[in-house]
Structure 1
Amino acid sequence: MITSTDHVAPVTSAQQPVLIIGGGLVGASLAIALDAAGIDAVMVEAAAPRVGEQPSYDERNLALARATVNGLAAIGVWPHATAQATPIHHIHVTRAGEFGSVQLDAAKHAVDALGWTLPARELGAALLRRLDECRRLRRLAPARLEALEPLAQGWRARIRTAEGLLDIDTPLLVGADGTTSFVRDQVGIGAERHDYQQTLFVCTITPERDHANRAYERFADHGPIALLPLTERRCGLVLTVPRTEADAVAALDDEGFVALAQQRFGWRLGRLSRPGKRHAYPIQRVAASALVAPRAVLVGNAAQTIHPIGAQGFNLGLRDALTLAEMVAGVADPGTQDLLERYAARRAADREGTMAMSHGLVQLACLPQPWLGPLRSMAMLAFDRLPPVQRLLARRGMGFRSDPPRAVLERLP
């Protein structure tokens, strides 16, 4: 038993099958999926259960792959979010100063949308509403994991809540606690880090021309810029700048910031105007050296934090959560080594492929070497003109990769 010098409240004990540390976008999705599968769980979240308190329910505009929306629909979240979501009918990818492009069209691939855009705060609000409907989930928020002790058949977690300290014994500990995961460190899993020396600025902006449900991504020497379609003819702007320029960009007034975005994006949608409040995020890649440890597993950003190019972070994390929920459903012991090894093996191809894609794109598409220009343009033309390559690219872009969880294969309602 863990000892404590804190005498504010007595330590009490509880037994729960699954303990989730972290209630952000992926942790909350996992908790809901477990509840839908009839599995008792506890979710520990440092923030209070309100949209304004949860740091991951922020001003980013998420590009949700079709598979992701299928998965959110399967666990009952999407009905709470659909009114604020905007379908993506077309994706247009270019490189500044080069002639190649890649264009994906939903109708060409016989779907009504390639994906949807949704502000993270709106997805967070939908998750909170769905969490309120859960019957087998116990939520501790605000609460904080203070210590872990290995047991013969699991872990004992010491949780600090507003009422005092609580010990929870669990046969399966899930780290969904983000890039700087405390769980990852405590269970002995290392991580490889790569700082891209870039900063991401996000805000909303209004284009002169209707976005017509098109998503744009444009690469350049300084990094990518993207415009994502939103409701009310607005767009979500994602602008990447070198870290050395981040302070200067942050200090720009609205007119100067829009001028920079216009110069980087071009005039395809006419004049850009009316920027919303800007938020800046340093970009780094953090990859856990393993997904599992004895009776512990990592999901979402705790397992892998990737470059936002291609907008695959939450999409990948949700597939982690839904796969784990699927695999532990109906088993007597959710934390056996065999089950966790099978989980890691099943996630390997999707995880490694998505991470390699995001890292490779930012390295290749944004390198300034002039000799790469013709090669990049020819590669884009090949992607755009060869139907088998187009189909593969579209399928992966929609999130259907490498033995996905069954939930993402369900048809939308």
Structure 2
Amino acid sequence: MTTSFPQATTGRPPVLIIGGGLVGASLAIALDAAGIEAVMVEAAAPRVGEQPSYDERNLALARATVNGLAAIGVWPHVAAQATPIRHIHVTRAGEFGSVRMDARQHGVDALGWTLPARELGAGLLRRLDECRHLKRLAPAKLEALESTPSGWRARIQTADGVIELDTPLLVGADGTASFVRDRLGIAAEHHDYQQTLFVCTVTPERDHANRAYERFSDDGPVALLPLSGRRCGLVLTVPREDADAVASLDDDGYIALAQQRFGWRLGRLSRPGRRHPYAIQRVAAKELIGPRAVLVGNAAQTVHPIGAQGFNLGLRDALTLAELVAGADDPGSEALLERYAARRAADREGTMAMSHGLVQLACLAQPLLGPLRSMAMLAFDRVPPLQRLMARRGMGFRSEPPRAVLERLP
């Protein structure tokens, strides 16, 4: 049996968000905070253990991201689980030079914060429970989309049957393999890095002192992120052909590999937690918008995890869209969507170029580039204007950011 979705209390059809992961849920919350009626459709049940994106990754949240999460009321739900990043140290194996950043030198108490994705997911779910203008369909599946003169008609399978819903604005927040992107006919560029990322927690012999490390090598980057209780989040990238062998290592073997790749700056590493592998790819939609439709987060762009920009970039998508919709009479108008695409262009293209360029320049075997890489690191470390530029971009303040990320933390 098919039923029509109840009309929004404002008398206007709601914004329809497909996907309730980290970015989709953040968008739903931001729209709710602005008093915008919305419906969010998510395939997973509304529990942390059921949502694939609320996983074991340790997210490095840029300062702008934390400002944005505070502005939409999420940060109070997760702040106690977050660890401030007060220092950053970047090196390249086998080459001289490093980049060191200190929060105090840039006039802030922290450059960012580390937070497990599952903790952020739990905080998002708690904040979603507080929403007043949002309807959540989960678990539910988008089965079909039909274009209408005023927007889109969606056919959604729920536990209680099939629902048909009309919307003036369709938002694809449904991840890298986006059904919405395919239905809109938006092509995407794909690049497989032939790398696999392993994440887990470890305990270093020395106190991390709220310092985040990233070390580049021919085999890919390795990062150590500060966590509470003197633990660290280890992010280890390996060539795809080595992934099965790495996955089969016992704890001692895995620690030996991590130690060899990272070095001994924090002394001996020990007590590795459960390891989780992720294949790394780059997927970039060639367009961000379609007729009364828009892509955000991984549906718009999935980037290499180097530099930890994925969720940070996606949240700026969500908050920019919410800001524009909040001030509009028609959330799906062509003018609004074109404004959105223009607002996001420089940040999106710059961040994607940075992450892809770092992989190409810093993580591939190119001996002739070694001296140039070392000189570049020395310049970013010792030339104040260059470091200020890098710090500002690393903290998420690029081009024309959403107003929410400019708010200072309480």
Q: Determine the C-alpha separation between the residues in 1 that align with 2:395 and 2:182.
A: 33
* TM score, norm. by length of structure 1: 0.97
Q: Where does residue 70 of structure 2 map in the other structure?
A: 73
Matched, 1:242 2:242: no
Q: 1:204 aligns with which of 201, 206, 229?
A: 201
Counterpart secondary structure, 2:220: coil
Is the 8 Å Cα contact of residues 284 and 307 (structure 1) preserved in structure 2? yes
Q: Where does residue 4 of structure 2 map in the other structure?
A: 12
Q: CA deviation at 1:17?
A: 2.3
Q: CA deviation at 1:11?
A: 3.0
* TM score, norm. by length of structure 2: 0.98
Q: 2:136 aligns with which of 122, 136, 139?
A: 139
Q: CA deviation at 1:25?
A: 0.1
Gaps of 5+ in 1: 1-8
Q: Determine the C-alpha separation between the residues in 2 that align with 1:12 and 1:170.
A: 12
Q: CA deviation at 1:345?
A: 0.6
Matched, 1:168 2:165: yes
Q: Determine the C-alpha separation between the residues in 2 that align with 1:167 and 1:271.
A: 58
Q: Determine the C-alpha separation between the residues in 2 that align with 1:138 and 1:276.
A: 37
Q: Where does residue 3 of structure 1 map in the other structure?
A: none
Question: C-alpha deviations, 1:294-327, integer Å up to 9, x for none?
Answer: 0000000000000000000000000000000000
Aligned length: 405
Q: CA deviation at 1:371?
A: 1.3
Is the 8 Å Cα contact of residues 224 and 239 (structure 1) preserved in structure 2? yes
Give the letter aligned to residue 386 of structure 1: V
Q: CA deviation at 1:332?
A: 1.5
Matched, 1:46 2:43: yes
Q: Where does residue 27 of structure 1 map in the other structure?
A: 24
Q: Where does residue 52 of structure 2 map in the other structure?
A: 55
Q: 1:355 aligns with which of 347, 352, 366?
A: 352
Moved more, 365-374 or 267-276: 365-374
Q: CA deviation at 1:367?
A: 1.7
Give the letter aligned to residue 24 of structure 2: G
Is the 8 Å Cα contact of residues 93 and 218 (structure 1) preserved in structure 2? yes
Q: Where does residue 334 of structure 1 map in the other structure?
A: 331
Is the 8 Å Cα contact of residues 2 and 164 (structure 2) preserved in structure 1? no
Q: Using the aligned pairs only, state the percent identity.
A: 83
Is the 8 Å Cα contact of residues 140 and 158 (structure 2) preserved in structure 1? yes
Alignment of 1:391-402 (within 5 A): 391-402=388-399
How large is the RMSD of aligned CA atoms in angstroms?
Answer: 0.6
Is the 8 Å Cα contact of residues 34 and 326 (structure 2) preserved in structure 1? yes
Q: Determine the C-alpha separation between the residues in 2 that align with 1:169 and 1:367.
A: 49
Moved more, 329-338 or 202-211: 329-338
Q: CA deviation at 1:153?
A: 1.1
Give the letter aligned to residue 158 of structure 1: R
Matched, 1:369 2:361: no
Matched, 1:93 2:90: yes
Q: Determine the C-alpha separation between the residues in 1 that align with 2:271 and 2:38.
A: 44
Give the letter aligned to residue 200 of structure 2: C
Q: CA deviation at 1:14?
A: 3.9
Give the letter aligned to residue 255 of structure 2: V
